Amino acid sequence: MLKTTDWLLDPSSCPGFQRSEVVARIEKGGHVHHTEHLHVIVPERYGLVNITNRVEEVLKRSQVKDGLCFVSAMHITAGIYINDAESGLLEDISKWLEGLAPFGKNYKHHQTGEDNGDAHLKSYLTNHALTAPVTHGKLDFGTWQRIFYAEFDGKRQKRILVKVTGLV
């Protein structure tokens, strides 16, 4: 079973962020559909990292004033969720996930030669995507809400999809 020291828990940033890539943009009659991929390599196998600032940068580039922002982990061993950016809570979440899907257990998935059965289950628990409202060009969140990328099989190239759609 992992300890919290085995996790990268960053309440304020996304270590391993490499770049943002615009992959699509459609503008028509005051509407915009803007899509970017965030490229990351989380430097630990497990991590809960705050990507709110990165998503807000995409939102700003989109120029959408009113609409929706969709964020998706494009991998089956990662997740996306909204919660408070408080370090104690990140420790609690990592302990909770580890308690439900512990590393090192003999999962049937490991019979395929993989060693990441727990990562698939942890991903299932955190969900793979979220949709957030956009109002006046900003994420319309409560005071403490932040977007987190949950990595359960890191140390390799991953992408996060951010799609913003709405009125400019």
- The answer for residues whose C-beta is within 8 angstroms of residue 135's C-beta and 6 or more apart is 66
Mean pLDDT of 123-130: 96
Whose tokens are 């890539």? That residue is: 21
pLDDT of amino acid 104: 86
Mean pLDDT of 39-56: 96
Nearest to 78 by CA among 15, 6, 129, 4: 129
Which residues is 166 bridged to in the sheet?
32, 67
Mean pLDDT of 111-127: 94
pLDDT of amino acid 44: 94
**At 141, is the pLDDT very low, low, confident or very high (cuts 50, 70, 90)?**
very high
Count other Cβ atoms within 10 Å, centred on residue 105: 11
**At 24, is the pLDDT very low, low, confident or very high (cuts 50, 70, 90)?**
very high
Mean pLDDT of 43-58: 96
Mean pLDDT of 83-95: 95
Integer Cα distance of 63 and 57 in angstroms: 10
Integer Cα distance of 29 and 168 in angstroms: 9
What kind and span of H or E run contains 160?
A: strand 158-167
Nearest to 20 by CA among 49, 48, 59: 59
**At 5, is the pLDDT very low, low, confident or very high (cuts 50, 70, 90)?**
confident
The pTM of the full predicted model, rounded to 2 decimals, is 0.95
Mean pLDDT of the chain: 95
**3-class SS letters over 18-81:** EEEEEEEEEEECCEEEEEEEEEECCCCCEEEEECHHHHHHHHHHHCCCEEEEEEEECCCCEEEE
10-14, 50-54, 64-68: least confident range: 10-14
Integer Cα distance of 35 and 140 in angstroms: 19
